[in-house]
Amino acid sequence: MTDAFDLLHGINPALFLIAGGVIALALPWAMARKAVMLAAPLLGLAAWFATREPGVYAIVELGPLTLETFRYDALSRIWALVFLLAAFLNGIYALHERSRISDGSALIYAGAAVGAVFAGDFITLFVFWELTALFSAPLIFAAGAPAAQRAGLRYLAIQVLSGVLLLGGAAVWASQTGSWTFDAIGADDPAGLVLLIAFGIKAAFPLMHMWMQDAYPKATGVGAVVLSAFTTKLAIYALARGFAGTEILITIGVIMAAFPILFVIVENDLRRTLAYALNNQLGFMVVGVGVGTPLGLNAAAANAFVGVFYMALMFMVMGAVMHRTGTAKASELGGLFRSMPITGALSIVGALAIVGAPLFSGFVTKTLVLSAVSYHGDVIAYAILVIAAAGVMELSALKVPYFAFFGQDRGHRVKEAPLNMLLAMGLAAFLCIYLGIHWQALYGLLPFAIDYQPYTLDNVIGQVQILMAGAFAFALLVWLKLFPLRGDRTILDVDWLYRRVGDGVVRWGGAMGQLMAGASERGLGVVIGRWTNRLFNLFSPAGSLSRIFPSGLMAIWTGVLLAGVLLVAYFSPL
């Protein structure tokens, strides 16, 4: 056994996932595919455990470039572990689904995320970064509806844009520093800024977040679970690696944590609500990175770790609800507790983990962030985070169980979720509780040694106060009937702009093409066109013929250019 384990030492776990994904894409038999879906993450986990010594493995020499494809160190290992676990949970959760494309791409997507986390240089990072973009999009396309197709294209475009920015920034960075190694960057020079934007797009920074609310709710039930785990957390890792201690991130993170409050209240689609909740949690992680102290980075890592599980759990619950009822709208759901009691109970576990109730995983990580910020001495950030914790986090977390399983009964009489879904949700819920009680196990994984006691009196009391405030706010909103209970409204976020711009530019291009055909025919923009027409009328007897025959116009240009070159030559030094 040890021998087999040693064999795996230094092998990148991502390889198993990606190879498994490629095989799954090719396998026509569902059973075999499902076996691969489960086996590949397990092999990856084995490789993760087999590699005990931090170090750089699998170095590839590519011409002048040295690619560090497997950098196993304190920071990367925890992210890789959570991605591998998430891939395994997804494998179980998706057992009932019969789609070759989704199965294969989900595995490759997970593998690419692991590979990106282990990347020691920008080239490797870029390759895996783009792979996550390419292989996550099929999970949205798989939903089939035209709206999902368009959302998938927009999603793909913006994710690829992030990759292109990453490569551009990295190229400039490398030409300045002479090294492609991916380490602390800092946002002080243009290259760093471009990289920050590239990471920020994936981390759903405010005003760059719209792809998430746009695409995630339109994915398939299973697809949303997979999507929620990897892309954004990968971005948090990249930020932690490159921009630890960048002050601006504290501001960005605080805004991220706080701004979804309105959307969370009025949003009717429960999966969209969860996407906003995800935004809020990412904000907490970004703040941790921005603080940049060992405690801050630990906080970001711990939040990412447990966040994957409770967000996956919530998306799984919604996936199960959709699987049975076909909708995720608050106005059409309610009273499902009678039909799906186990799912309902698990959703409550997830909600408690999100809000950070003591004994749940959210508690031991949220207190880390708040402590990191308070030690850092940023009072305003601390205050806003507390409000965000009470407002956004709780409202979103309580909203899902309340509207789906309790609240007004809409008469859905459905079966309990399928067994495999229950199993996956059960495992995720177990982890939510286990990590909350055995917090030492979690803290042991963190990148920096930590001496921190989550269960102190003031921590517990503080968190319970936040909880109470949030629960009160929620009850008040229900009592005042401020939650939307009917109708399908579109909430105007900046994503409206983004959807319009994305689709619009293309349509606008088509429409303008016809309008401007005449103008562009002459080879010039409207403004310049006016000038050249004057020139033309000045010099040419042909006049209006120029519209059809550009040769006269071009003769003039030739002359103008000749004059230009002559002038330049005349004034040139010898």
Partner 1 sequence: MEPQVLPAALAAHAPALLVMIPLIMSAPAAMIKNGRVAWVIAVLSVGAALAMALEVFLATRADGAIWSYAMGGWEPPFGIEYRIDALNAALLLLLGTTGFLALLFAGPSVADEISRGKRSLFYSAFLICFAGLSGVASTGDAFNLFVFLEISSIATYAIIAMGWRNDRQALTASFNYLVMGTIGATFFVIGVGFIYMTTGTLNMADQAQAIAAMNGNRAVEVGFAFILVGIGLKAALFPLHQWLPNAYAYAPNFVTTFLATTATKVAFYVIIRYSYDVFSVHTGFVSNAMIWVITPLAIAGMLVASTQALFQNNVRRLFAYSSVAQVGYMMLGLGMATSLGLTAGMIHLINHAMMKGALFMALGAFALSYGIRRIDDFKGLGQVMPVTSAAFTVGALSLVGVPFTVGFISKFYLIQAALDAGWWWAVAAILISSVIAVFYVYRILVAIWVTPPGESDKAAPKRVPLAIAVPLCVLVLANLVFGVYAEPIVSIARAAADAAVYGGVTP
Interface with partner 1 (CB under 8 A): 63, 126-127, 130, 149, 153, 157, 167-168, 171-172, 175, 505-506, 509-510, 512-514, 516-517, 520, 522-525, 548-551, 553-555, 557-558, 561-562, 564-566, 568-574
Instruction: Indicate the residue among 39 and 172 with the shorter CB distance to partner 1.
Output: 172
Region at 60 (left for phi over 0; alpha for psi -120 to 50; beta for the rest)? beta
Instruction: Indicate the residue among 476 and 555 with the shorter CB distance to partner 1.
Output: 555
Instruction: Indicate the residue among 103 and 130 with the shorter CB distance to partner 1.
Output: 130
Least Å distance between CB 68 and partner 1? 19
Least Å distance between CB 554 and partner 1? 5
Q: How far apart are CA 174 and CA 182, in angstroms?
A: 10
Least Å distance between CB 564 and partner 1? 6
User: What DSSP string describes 426-487?
Assistant: HHHHHHHHHHHH-HHHHHHHSSS-----S--HHHHHHHHHHHHHHHHHHHHHHHTT-S--SS
Helices (H), 203-293: 210-215, 221-242, 248-258, 261-266, 270-291
Number of H helices, E strands in the chain: 24, 2
Instruction: Indicate the residue among 123 and 427 with the shorter CB distance to partner 1.
Output: 123
Provide the token pair at 366: 């949220």
Least Å distance between CB 571 and partner 1? 8
Instruction: Indicate the residue among 537 and 558 with the shorter CB distance to partner 1.
Output: 558
Closest CA to 235 of 136, 310, 382: 136
Instruction: Indicate the residue among 476 and 567 with the shorter CB distance to partner 1.
Output: 567
Instruction: Indicate the residue among 434 and 557 with the shorter CB distance to partner 1.
Output: 557
Least Å distance between CB 525 and partner 1? 7
Least Å distance between CB 328 and partner 1? 25
Least Å distance between CB 187 and partner 1? 18
Q: How far apart are CA 364 and CA 361, in angstroms?
A: 6
Closest CA to 316 of 282, 362, 270: 270
Q: How far apart are CA 89 and CA 468, in angstroms?
A: 32
Least Å distance between CB 572 and partner 1? 4
Instruction: Indicate the residue among 374 and 551 with the shorter CB distance to partner 1.
Output: 551
Q: How far apart are CA 96 and CA 424, in angstroms?
A: 12
Helix (H, G, I), strand (E, B) or coil at 328: coil
